Amino acid sequence: MAIEEGKDPVPVTRTRGISVRLLLVFLMFLVLCVLFSFISLSTFRRFSFDSVAGVVKPSLEPCIGESSGLDQWIRPPSNLMHTMSDEELFWRATLVPKIRKYPFDRNPKIAFMFLSKGPLPLAPLWERYFKGHEGRFSIYVHSLPSYNEEFPPTSVFYKKHIPSKVAEWGRMSMCDAERRLLANALLDFSNEWFILLSESCIPIYNFSTTVNYITGSKYSFLGAFDDTGPYGRGRYNESMAPEVNLSDWRKGSQWFEIDRRLAINIVEDTIYHPKFEAFCRPHCYVDEHYFPTMLTIRAPNLLANRSITWVDWSRGGSHPATFGKGDITVEFFKKVRESKTCEYNGRNTTLCFLFARKFAPSSLEPLLQLAPKVLGL
Ligand SMILES: *[C@@H]1O[C@H](CO)[C@@H](O)[C@H](O)[C@H]1NC(C)=O
Ligand SMILES: *[C@@H]1O[C@H](CO)[C@@H](O)[C@H](O)[C@H]1NC(C)=O
Ligand SMILES: *[C@@H]1O[C@H](CO)[C@@H](O)[C@H](O)[C@H]1NC(C)=O
Ligand SMILES: *[C@@H]1O[C@H](CO)[C@@H](O)[C@H](O)[C@H]1NC(C)=O
Ligand SMILES: *[C@@H]1O[C@H](CO)[C@@H](O)[C@H](O)[C@H]1NC(C)=O
């Protein structure tokens, strides 16, 4: 009777028709359940638990559509242009394994992170720098969101742009862009060192020298010094205490090289970020103080307290010198490379800088000409 009523194209009342259909579905479900428990019980009796799992697993795989091995957890993202918000990205980037030893063959890489406004005019020089070292580095580019990348598929910069936002000099948005670069680079488990560069930076040694210097150092290269003058401690605001005290206040250039631990420290920070955002506003230039101060509090023993990016402030003013076509000579490179002595793992050395800024687009031609002789590129 019930079945006939259910088939009826014009049921007397709607609710009744539905409840009868529901009952039918429920009955069929019940029958299936009994059948299934019977089958699984008899299977369970025949195999041990492990072998049941072994039998069931492969049959599920095609439905899920992904591998069940470890590689799904360690494979770097294939598309850097993800749709995660910063909040989601930072959370994802700070998932850290508690076991130190990697259960797979890890090939540690250096992440080169370019913070630029738009194009990378010195890209041809960098292409030469990276040539032949595939698999030892990763590249990430953060530019103004309105800028569309223009690199051919043969370029090392092809599809290396990450989702970006406007970043203003001296403002928290600049530090946020740097954190965004770090967070994206952290998604690749093989990135162990992270270098921040700008579109006006050039390498001043070849790739192998850079790798040996960075991987052999006990410390990360981040400028951090205690400037007691008005442009240093003078920018500290007492409202930042007790999280940030005057004695911890540091200043340094934003162009850093840090290792994975420090990168995670920066991306996970929710203690110092609000303090700097609220109390370090122009004329306190937050990108000169936030990371140096925060890392001096969190991990002072991991810092070399100096930058490996050379810059020339000797011309005075609030901006460093920019070098163009006429400046690029063999003597210029000799001067830059031997401009200073510093400590490397506790020993004095004249090899203090691996990169230099600022270079105008017009310097590209002479740089490419001198590169084989001076840079070995
Ligand atoms: C890199 O430069 C160093 C010294 O500047 C040199 O000894 C080395 O042979 C160069 N490596 C390559 C691969 O060119
Ligand atoms: C510290 O910051 C607060 C809030 O922005 C401001 O009112 C105060 O004047 C600042 N103090 C100093 C010493 O700059
Ligand atoms: C800052 O100073 C206060 C009081 O001396 C202390 O309790 C606090 O731990 C200090 N903060 C840091 C980050 O050292
Ligand atoms: C860097 O400075 C911190 C304190 O600000 C210090 O503890 C650390 O030893 C310094 N690093 C080196 C390599 O001297
Ligand atoms: C490094 O040079 C400084 C002077 O610039 C000197 O005081 C120090 O003793 C030297 N250190 C070593 C390990 O040679």
CA dihedral (189, 190, 193, 199) positive or negative: negative
Cα(197)–Cα(188) distance, rounded to whole angstroms? 19
For residue 245, the ligand 3 atom closest to its alpha carbon is 1
Cα(49)–Cα(237) distance, rounded to whole angstroms? 63
Helices (H), the chain: 2-7, 14-46, 49-64, 71-74, 86-93, 123-130, 172-186, 207-215, 260-268, 272-279, 290-298, 330-337, 364-370
Cα(314)–Cα(320) distance, rounded to whole angstroms? 8
By C-alpha distance, which of 376, 365, 372, 264 is closest to 323? 365
Whole-number Å distance, alpha carbon 297 to ligand 3 midpoint, is 10
What are the Cα distances from residue 29, in Å, to 15, 215, 309?
Answer: 21, 62, 69
- Per run of 10 residues, the mean pLDDT along the chain (length 377 residues) is 38 47 61 53 44 42 65 90 97 95 95 96 98 97 92 96 96 98 97 98 97 98 97 97 98 97 98 98 96 98 98 89 96 94 97 98 97 90
Cα(47)–Cα(313) distance, rounded to whole angstroms? 75
For residue 347, the ligand 5 atom closest to its alpha carbon is 13
The reply to whether ligand 1 has any atom less than 6 angstroms from the CB of 300 is no
Whole-number Å distance, alpha carbon 245 to ligand 3 midpoint, is 6
Cα(192)–Cα(9) distance, rounded to whole angstroms? 68
Cα(2)–Cα(19) distance, rounded to whole angstroms? 10
pLDDT of the residue at 149: 81
For residue 219, the ligand 4 atom closest to its alpha carbon is 13
Q: Which of 348, 349, 351 to mutate to test the pocket of ligand 5 (most atoms within 8 A of CB)?
A: 348
Cα(43)–Cα(367) distance, rounded to whole angstroms? 72
Per DSSP, 149 falls in state P
CB hemisphere CA count around 39 (13 angstroms)? 7
Asked if residues 198 and 311 have their Cβ atoms less than 8 Å apart, the reply is no
Atom 4, ligand 3: which residue's CA is nearest? 242
Cα(161)–Cα(182) distance, rounded to whole angstroms? 13
Q: Which of 245, 265, 293 to mutate to test the pocket of ligand 3 (most atoms within 8 A of CB)?
A: 245
Q: CB-based burial of residue 72 (10 Å sphere; 0-12 exposed, 13-18 middle, 19+ buried)?
A: exposed
pLDDT of the residue at 23: 59
Whole-number Å distance, alpha carbon 134 to ligand 2 midpoint, is 50
By C-alpha distance, which of 99, 98, 141, 101 is closest to 120? 141
Give the number of the ligand closest to the Cα of residue 284: 2
Whole-number Å distance, alpha carbon 239 to ligand 2 midpoint, is 7
The residues pairing with 203 across neighbouring beta strands, listed in sequence order, are: 355
Mind giving me the DSSP string for 205-245?
S-HHHHHHHHHT-SSBB---B---STTTGGG--GGGTTTS-
What are the boundaries of each domain within the chain? Answer: 1-29, 94-305
For residue 346, the ligand 5 atom closest to its alpha carbon is 13
Q: Please give the CATH number for the structural domain made up of 94-305.
A: 3.90.550
pLDDT of the residue at 41: 47
The reply to whether ligand 2 has any atom less than 6 angstroms from the CB of 277 is no
Asked if residues 232 and 252 have their Cβ atoms less than 8 Å apart, the reply is no
Asked if residues 140 and 183 have their Cβ atoms less than 8 Å apart, the reply is no
Token pair 């070098």 is found at 323
For residue 242, the ligand 3 atom closest to its alpha carbon is 1
